[in-house]
C-alpha cells in the first residue's frame, strides 16, 4: 500500500481578521504551505469548511480558492463535517493520495466567523446540532456542552475549578504560539470569574469565535523525493479513523462517552500500529473544557471518568506524560471551526519536525482529534516523524 506524507504546512494567525475575507485567509495559508513544500502545482484541493454559506454567503469554496490561488483547472471540493470539517478534509486528501488517483494534494481549512452578528454566529454554529429537535428549542452549542459538563461534574464529583485547569494549560501553551489568538497565560480564577454563558459553562471554558486558515500538502514518499523535498520536512500520516454518533444529545446512549472518538481512535491506532501509550502528544478538541476531559478518556489516555484527573495531577503539561494542546488548543489558539482540524495537523507537523514554539522533547508520534457537533462526527489522525 502507498504511504502518505505531509511535505508542506502553512497557516494564518487566528484572530479577528477585519481586513481579510475568507478567500484571502485560505489563499494565504495555502500558498504558505506550497512554498513550504517548494512546489508550484498540486493535483487537487480539498477545502475543510463548516458554514461559509450562512457566515459569508459563499459556497463552492473549491472553485473559489483554487481559482484565487492560481491552481488551474484542478478538481477542488469542500468537505463538511461540522467542526470536524478540517480533520475530515485532511483525511479525504490522504485517501486521494493512498488510492493512487492523485499524487500531490492540497488541503486547506478555513472559516470566517467574525463577519456575522454574535447571536447569528451562535445560531449558525448550532446548525451542527439537530435543527428540528435541538435548535428548535433554542439550544446553542454552548448550552448543549453545558448539559454534558454539569452531568460530568455530578457523575465524578469534579468542580468548575477542576475543569478550568484545561483552559489554564491551553493558555500557558498558547502564550508561546505566535499564531494563537490569545497569547497570554491565565489563572484558574480568570476562568472562574468569567461570566456564565450557559451554567455551569463560563466564557473561559469555551473557545472563541474567530477567523483563520491552515493548509497542508500531502503526497507519497516517492513523489516527495522526486520533488526534491528534504526529508526533514516529511511527516507521515500513519493512521486515521472517523466515526459518527447520534446527532442529538438526547439520543446518546451514554452522555459521558465520546463513542465516535473511541471508534475513530481504534481505527487510527490500528492503522498506525500504535497504542495510546505510544502517543507523545495529543491535540484534542477542547472547544469546551469538558470536551478535553471526555476526549482524553475516549482516546485511551485516561480511564472513564478520569480525564479531568489527568489535569489535576499535572499530567497534561508539555513536559508531562500526556501533553495536550501544545500550541494553545482551540481555547487559546482559537477555533475557526472548519479550519481547526487543519490547524491541529499543521501543529502536529511542527511538533514532529521539532519546530514547535513549545516543543515536546523528542516527539515521534502525535495524535489530533477533531470533534464535529456534540461528539456526533469525529476524526482522529495519527502522525509519525519520518
Partner 1 sequence: MARPMQVSRYWRHFREKYMLIGGKCENGHVHFPKRSVCPVCGSREIEEIELSGKGKVLSWTIVRNPPSGFEYYKPFPLALVELEEGPVVLTQLTDVDPEEIDFGMEVEVVTKKIREFEEDGIILYGYKFRPPVK
Query: Rounded distance, CA 111 to CA 214, Å?
Result: 10
Nearest distance from residue 294's CB to partner 1, in Å?
Answer: 14
| Cβ atoms within 10 Å, residue 184 | 11
Question: Which runs of consecutive H residues, i.e. helices, occur in the chain?
Answer: 22-37, 52-56, 61-68, 85-99, 118-125, 141-156, 160-174, 188-193, 221-226, 259-272, 289-298, 307-312, 329-332, 340-353
Residue number, 76 or 256, with CB nearest to partner 1: 256
Residues in a beta bridge with 244: 377
C-alpha cell read off for 199: 451554567
Q: What is the DSSP letter of 220?
A: -
Nearest distance from residue 193's CB to partner 1, in Å?
Answer: 16
Contact region with partner 1 (CB under 8 A), list: 9-17, 122-130, 173-181, 316-324 = 122-130
Q: Which H helix or E strand runs over 45?
A: strand 44-48
Q: What is the DSSP letter of 259?
A: H
- Across 245-310, the runs of DSSP E, i.e. the strands, are 281-283
255-274 binders of partner 1 (CB under 8 A): 255
Candidates 20, 33, 107, 135: give the one binding partner 1 (CB under 8 A).
135
C-alpha cell read off for 299: 482516546
What is the total count of residues that contact partner 1 (CB under 8 A)? 39
Nearest distance from residue 209's CB to partner 1, in Å?
Answer: 11
Candidates 137, 184, 187, 193: give the one binding partner 1 (CB under 8 A).
137
34-93 binders of partner 1 (CB under 8 A): none
Query: Rounded distance, CA 199 to CA 145, Å?
Result: 10
Residue number, 122 or 315, with CB nearest to partner 1: 122
Binding mask 185-214 for partner 1 (x = CB under 8 A): ----------xxxxxxx-------------
Candidates 81, 88, 90, 146: give the one binding partner 1 (CB under 8 A).
146
Candidates 140, 169, 177, 345: give the one binding partner 1 (CB under 8 A).
140
Candidates 2, 24, 133, 267: give the one binding partner 1 (CB under 8 A).
133
Interstrand relation of 201-202 and 196-198 (parallel, antiparallel or unpaired): antiparallel
DSSP string, 267-278: HHHHHHT--GGG
Residue number, 252 or 384, with CB nearest to partner 1: 252
* Count of residues making up the chain: 386
CA 125 vs. chain centroid, Å, equals 15
Binding mask 164-183 for partner 1 (x = CB under 8 A): --------------------
Distances (CA, A) of 44 to 89, 107, 174, 314: 12, 9, 32, 43
The count of C-alpha atoms lying within 13 angstroms of the C-alpha of 123, restricted to the half-sphere facing its C-beta, is: 9
C-alpha cell read off for 305: 471518568
Nearest distance from residue 204's CB to partner 1, in Å?
Answer: 14
- The catalytic site residues sit at 83, 335
Residue number, 112 or 384, with CB nearest to partner 1: 112
Query: Rounded distance, CA 159 to CA 106, Å?
Result: 43
Candidates 19, 117, 178, 277: give the one binding partner 1 (CB under 8 A).
117
Residue number, 76 or 142, with CB nearest to partner 1: 142
Binding mask 213-252 for partner 1 (x = CB under 8 A): ---------------------------------x-xxxxx
3-class SS of residue 334: coil
Nearest distance from residue 13's CB to partner 1, in Å?
Answer: 26
Residues that bind partner 1 (CB under 8 A): 117-120, 122-123, 126, 132-140, 142-144, 146-148, 150-151, 154, 195-201, 246, 248-252, 255
Amino acid at each position: 500500500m502507498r504511504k502518505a506524507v505531509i511535505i508542506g504546512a502553512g497557516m494564518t494567525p487566528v484572530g479577528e481578521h477585519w481586513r481579510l475575507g475568507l478567500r484571502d485567509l485560505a489563499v494565504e495559508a495555502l500558498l504558505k504551505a506550497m512554498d513550504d513544500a517548494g512546489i508550484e502545482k498540486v493535483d487537487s484541493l480539498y477545502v475543510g469548511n463548516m458554514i461559509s454559506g450562512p457566515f459569508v454567503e459563499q459556497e463552492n469554496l473549491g472553485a473559489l480558492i483554487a481559482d484565487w490561488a492560481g491552481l488551474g483547472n484542478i478538481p477542488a471540493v469542500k468537505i463538511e463535517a461540522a467542526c470536524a470539517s478540517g480533520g475530515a478534509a485532511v483525511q479525504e486528501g490522504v485517501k486521494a493520495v493512498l488510492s493512487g488517483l492523485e499524487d500531490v494534494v492540497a488541503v486547506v481549512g478555513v472559516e470566517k466567523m467574525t463577519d456575522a452578528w454574535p447571536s447569528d454566529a451562535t445560531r449558525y454554529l448550532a446548525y451542527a446540532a439537530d435543527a428540528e429537535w435541538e435548535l428548535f428549542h433554542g439550544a446553542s452549542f454552548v448550552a448543549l456542552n453545558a448539559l454534558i459538563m454539569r452531568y460530568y461534574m455530578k457523575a465524578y464529583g469534579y468542580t468548575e475549578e477542576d475543569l478550568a485547569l484545561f483552559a489554564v494549560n491551553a493558555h500557558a501553551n498558547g502564550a508561546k504560539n505566535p499564531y494563537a489568538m490569545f497569547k497570554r497565560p491565565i489563572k484558574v480564577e480568570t476562568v472562574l470569574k468569567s461570566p456564565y454563558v450557559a451554567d455551569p459553562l463560563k466564557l473561559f471554558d469555551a473557545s472563541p469565535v474567530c477567523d483563520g486558515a491552515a493548509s497542508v500538502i500531502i503526497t507519497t514518499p516517492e513523489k516527495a523525493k522526486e520533488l526534491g523535498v528534504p526529508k526533514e520536512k516529511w511527516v507521515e500520516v500513519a493512521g486515521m479513523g472517523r466515526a459518527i454518533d447520534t446527532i442529538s444529545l438526547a439520543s446518546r446512549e451514554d452522555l459521558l462517552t465520546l463513542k465516535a472518538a473511541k471508534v475513530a481512535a481504534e481505527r487510527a491506532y490500528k492503522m498506525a500500529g500504535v497504542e495510546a501509550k505510544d502517543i507523545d502528544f495529543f491535540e484534542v478538541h477542547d472547544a469546551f473544557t469538558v470536551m478535553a476531559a471526555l476526549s482524553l478518556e475516549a482516546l485511551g489516555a485516561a480511564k472513564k471518568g478520569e480525564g479531568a484527573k489527568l489535569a489535576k495531577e499535572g499530567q497534561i503539561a508539555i513536559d508531562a506524560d500526556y501533553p495536550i494542546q501544545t500550541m494553545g488548543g482551540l481555547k487559546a489558539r482559537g477555533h475557526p471551526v472548519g479550519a481547526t482540524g487543519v490547524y491541529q495537523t499543521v501543529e502536529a507537523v511542527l511538533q514532529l519536525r521539532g519546530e514547535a514554539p513549545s516543543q515536546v522533547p523528542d516527539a515521534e508520534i502525535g495524535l489530533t482529534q477533531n470533534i464535529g457537533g456534540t461528539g456526533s462526527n469525529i476524526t482522529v489522525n495519527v502522525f509519525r516523524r519520518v
